[in-house]
Amino acid sequence: MTTPVRETVAKLTELKHQPPEGFWRRYVFSLDHKVIGRQYLDLALVAVITGMVLSWLMRLHLGYPNASIGVLGPANPSQMTPEYYLQLMTMHGTIMVFFVLTTAPFAGFGNFFLPIQVGAEDMAFPRFNMMSFWVTFLAFVTLVASFFVPEGPALSGWTAYAPLSAIGKEAGPGEGLGQTLWAISIALFCVGQLLGALNFIATTLDLRTKGMSLARMPFSTWAWFTTSVIGLIAFSVLLPACILLILDRVAGTSFFIPAGLVFNDQVQTHSGGSPLLWQHLFWFFGHPEVYIAILPGFGIISHILPAFTRKPLLGPKVLIGCMIAIGFLSYTVWGHHMFLSGMNPFSAILFSVPTLIITIPATIVTLLWIGSIYGARLRITAASLFCLGFVSVFVSGGISGFFLAQPSIDTYLHGTYFVVGHFHFVMGVAAMFGIFAGTYFWFPKMYGRMMNETLGKWHFALTFIGVYCIFMPMHYIGLAGNVRRYSSFTDDYLQPLLPVHKFMTIAALFTGAAQLIFFYNLFRSRFKGPPAPPNPWEATSLEWSTPASPPPFDNFGGKHPVVTQGPNEYGTAGAKDYVMQAGGEA
């Protein structure tokens, strides 16, 4: 498809096609999508470590309520205060959802590999690309800064429901400057992701190389492309929502604050706003965001699995169709977060139907993965193990969606640990497994060195068992009515569940410790790993046709690969059992 856009874009990218000089341009303010991709991943690494530590503190407090967690409770040196717990929870959620699950699989791997997989020399808009990272970085700094402001960071949860989040410090500690910084941070994040999404879309549509028809794009590229379309719409709704929230907080407007609220016996001056407006705006972003986090995982798994089953993935077109269907449906289901929010109960039914329907494409995809393992020549590596693990946890997490999608059952389960277990499995753990799989698979191409497989397998085994021990029990105590977002469980009917919380805490610390193996492996291999051959996994897609690992500045050393077939050409019965997408030599 030769469009005027394509030419302009091509020109734009040609402009910069000589490698930059100097440390700053090369490693810090680089226009190279590969550097930006690594920067995103490093940011995600810092974020995930932060978020994980926060979750340890929370679990410690829940498992051992009277344990003195020392200096960690700023309000009180010897024990975690309720507000500090909620602040940890809010920051854990925000950091993980925005700065890990969105940046790593989408912005990180996507930036590095999408242009290569479509055979482009760089992103369509390299300057936007750089801007997108640095804006995101700024957002992260802003968020973390709120730990150091008086009364600490926001405590209204990653969903920041108004008016708690909108009214200001009257609503309690954490609702002062901390909450404002939260809103600013998320607004900045939206800008960053919008720039990224535009870039991904333009690159996919206009910079594909010779013969790279849409149908021949790797699944990962398809996933990133779909994700960026979702993101473009989702973040462009969250951005104004955050701006309105900021205005409510600092400019005295009342978008989300109704009249006649009383805090500490004082009537507030706001009037005319609607708390439900925030919920609708937030979840219109929030539910697609779940798929922004998981769809790249779909793509990465579908991309990696065939390389280790050594056979084509079942129904590639079906798979891509399902991903698109999920992306589309994700915009019709946001209300299932609001069944009990006081919106018209009839709309609950309207929202629950597409929510249940979305399980159909999800089921198809899962079955396609499982079916693709049948009769395979399965090669067990850290990467393939995490793919298989992904399928397992995605099933475990997805199934519980059946319950929460139904308003009647949600009437009981809403706001319990059942929900926490559900989204941690399906969104958190599954997406993390996708990230791990991608890391083990692509690391050789990204850093030119192999990771240690033995450590990788240990990492998988411990993590896989660990996450089941943490998150499965959450479903049980959820059924028993254990309410989420409680800093301690004082209610009589929750007392019998405390041992379960202790168990989950121990499991969480154990699993967290297992991640140290990964970090060690990551850093050691980066500098000491054995040099990587150009195509260690015998994979087909273009990133493995690049002349070197890591690829040269323009990815293909001045040449433009010609693609003759799709990426799914495994299991051929000749001298080699796979056909590279760019088999040609000229």
Partner 1 sequence: MGKFFAVTVGILTIVSAGIFMFHVWWLPPDISVLGAGIDHQLNETMVASGILFVASQLALAVFVWRSSGSTGPIKIFPGGATPMVVIAVVLVGIEVAVLTLVGSKVWAGLFMVQAPANALQVDVQAEQFAFYFRYAGPDGKFGAMDPSKVSDANNNFFGLDPANDTTARDDIVAATLAIPVNRPILLTMHSRDVGHAFYVPQLRIQQDFVPGLVIPLHFTATQTGKYEIVCTQLCGLGHYNMRAYVEVMSDSDFAQWLKTQANQ
Partner 2 sequence: MRHHSAVAALAGLGVLLLVTGASTGAAQESHVGNITGHAASGKKLYRRYCVGCHGPDGDGNGENAQWIDPKPRDFTAGLFKCRSTPTGTLPTDQDLFNAMSRGFVTTNMPIWEPLAAQNRADLVAYIKTFSPRFSTEKPGTPITIPPEPAATIEGILRGRATFQKLECWKCHGPAGHGDGPSASTLTDSKDEPIRPYNFAAGVPRFMCGATNQDIYRDFMTGLDGSPMPSFADQLQPSEAWDLVHFLRTLQPLDTPEALIWKQWVATHGSELKPIGPDNGGK
Partner 3 sequence: MRITGIAALAGLALGASAVAGVAGPHLRAAGGTISGTITYTGTPPKMKPIDMAKEPTCAKQHATPVMTEGAVTGPGNTLADVVVYISAGDQPGPAPTQPVRYDQKGCQYVPHVAVMQAGQPLEIYNDDETSHNIHPMPKLNSEWNKSQPPGTPPIHTSFDKPEFISVKCNVHPWMHGVFAVLNTSHATVSGADGSFKLEGLAPGHYTVTAWHERFGTQTADVTITGSETQTVKLVFKATPY
Q: Which is nearer to partner 2, 252 or 375 (CB)?
A: 375
Query: Is the N-terminal amide bond of 275 cis, ω within 30° of 0?
Result: no
* Cα 105 from Cα 84, distance rounded (Å): 30
* Cα 171 from Cα 562, distance rounded (Å): 61
* Per-residue x/- track, 177-216, partner 2 (CB under 8 A): ---------------------------------xx-x---
**In 294-326, which positions are buried (b, 16+ CB within 10 angstroms) versus exposed (e)?**
bbbbbbbbbbbbbbbbbbbbbbbeebbebbbbb
In this structure, which amino acid lies at residue 490?
A: T
DSSP-derived 3-state class of residue 562 = strand
Report if residue 16 touches partner 3, rule: CB under 8 A. Answer: no
How many C-beta neighbours within 10 Å does residue 164 have? Answer: 18
* Cα 538–Cα 543–Cα 27 angle in degrees, nearest 5: 130
* Candidates 16-24, 328-336, 407-415, 560-568; binding stretch for partner 2 (CB under 8 A): 560-568
Binding residue for partner 1, selected from 150, 342, 530, 557, defined by CB under 8 A? 342
Residue 16: phi and psi, rounded to 5, are -105, 25
Report if residue 79 touches partner 3, rule: CB under 8 A. Answer: yes
* Closest among 89, 200, 91, 74 to 140, alpha carbons compared: 91
Q: Checking DSSP bridges between strand 266-267 and strand 262-263, what pairing results, if any? A: antiparallel
* Cα 423 from Cα 401, distance rounded (Å): 9
User: Rg of the Cα trace of the chain?
Assistant: 24
Q: Which is nearer to partner 1, 363 or 564 (CB)?
A: 363
CB of 266 to partner 1, least distance (A): 9
| Interface positions, 46-105, toward partner 2 (CB under 8 A) | none
Q: Under a CB-based contact definition with an 8 Å cutoff, are residues 173 and 155 in contact? A: yes
Total number of residues shown for the chain: 586
78 binds, among partner 2, partner 1, partner 3, none (CB under 5 to 8 A by kind): partner 3
In this structure, which amino acid lies at residue 147?
A: F
Report if residue 420 touches partner 1, rule: CB under 8 A. Answer: no
* Candidates 169-177, 231-239, 248-256, 398-406; binding stretch for partner 3 (CB under 8 A): 169-177
CB of 532 to partner 3, least distance (A): 53
Report if residue 77 touches partner 3, rule: CB under 8 A. Answer: yes
Binding residue for partner 1, selected from 262, 531, 575, 586, defined by CB under 8 A? 262
Binding residue for partner 3, selected from 8, 76, 269, 572, defined by CB under 8 A? 76
* Candidates 204-212, 235-243, 375-383, 504-512; binding stretch for partner 1 (CB under 8 A): 375-383
Q: Under a CB-based contact definition with an 8 Å cutoff, are residues 151 and 173 in contact? A: yes
| Interface positions, 271-330, toward partner 1 (CB under 8 A) | 273-276, 309-311, 314-315, 318
Q: Under a CB-based contact definition with an 8 Å cutoff, are residues 298 and 213 in contact? A: no
Q: Which is nearer to partner 3, 149 or 201 (CB)?
A: 149
Residue 25 token pair: 């341009």
* Cα 235 from Cα 229, distance rounded (Å): 10
151 binds, among partner 2, partner 3, partner 1, none (CB under 5 to 8 A by kind): partner 3
565 binds, among partner 2, partner 1, partner 3, none (CB under 5 to 8 A by kind): partner 2
| Interface positions, 213-252, toward partner 2 (CB under 8 A) | 213
Binding residue for partner 2, selected from 232, 462, 498, 579, defined by CB under 8 A? 579
Total residues contacting partner 1 by CB under 8 A comes to: 113
Report if residue 578 touches partner 2, rule: CB under 8 A. Answer: yes
* Cα 112 from Cα 155, distance rounded (Å): 35
Report if residue 272 touches partner 3, rule: CB under 8 A. Answer: no
Q: Which is nearer to partner 3, 7 or 491 (CB)?
A: 491
CB of 509 to partner 3, least distance (A): 22
Alpha-carbon separation of residue 311 from 30, 218, 323, 522 (angstroms): 38, 15, 21, 29
Binding residue for partner 1, selected from 45, 131, 154, 155, defined by CB under 8 A? 155
* Candidates 167-175, 221-229, 387-395, 551-559; binding stretch for partner 3 (CB under 8 A): 167-175
Total residues contacting partner 2 by CB under 8 A comes to: 28
350 binds, among partner 1, partner 2, partner 3, none (CB under 5 to 8 A by kind): none
How many C-beta neighbours within 10 Å does residue 266 have? Answer: 9
77 binds, among partner 1, partner 3, partner 2, none (CB under 5 to 8 A by kind): partner 3
CB of 160 to partner 1, least distance (A): 10
491 binds, among partner 2, partner 3, partner 1, none (CB under 5 to 8 A by kind): partner 1
First-to-last CA distance in the chain?
22
Q: Under a CB-based contact definition with an 8 Å cutoff, are residues 220 and 302 in contact? A: yes
- Per DSSP, 160 falls in state T
Report if residue 574 touches partner 1, rule: CB under 8 A. Answer: no
| Interface positions, 463-492, toward partner 3 (CB under 8 A) | 488, 490
Residue 355 token pair: 């929510």
205 binds, among partner 3, partner 2, partner 1, none (CB under 5 to 8 A by kind): none
Report if residue 485 touches partner 1, rule: CB under 8 A. Answer: yes
Q: Under a CB-based contact definition with an 8 Å cutoff, are residues 582 and 545 in contact? A: yes
* Cα 305 from Cα 372, distance rounded (Å): 8
* Candidates 33-41, 283-291, 413-421, 438-446; binding stretch for partner 1 (CB under 8 A): 413-421
How many C-beta neighbours within 10 Å does residue 465 have? Answer: 13
Report if residue 368 touches partner 2, rule: CB under 8 A. Answer: no
* Cα 90 from Cα 160, distance rounded (Å): 9
In this structure, which amino acid lies at residue 60?
A: L
Interaction site with partner 3 (CB under 8 A): 66, 75-83, 151, 169, 172-173, 264-266, 488, 490
Interaction site with partner 2 (CB under 8 A): 210-211, 213, 312-317, 562-565, 568-569, 572-580, 583-586
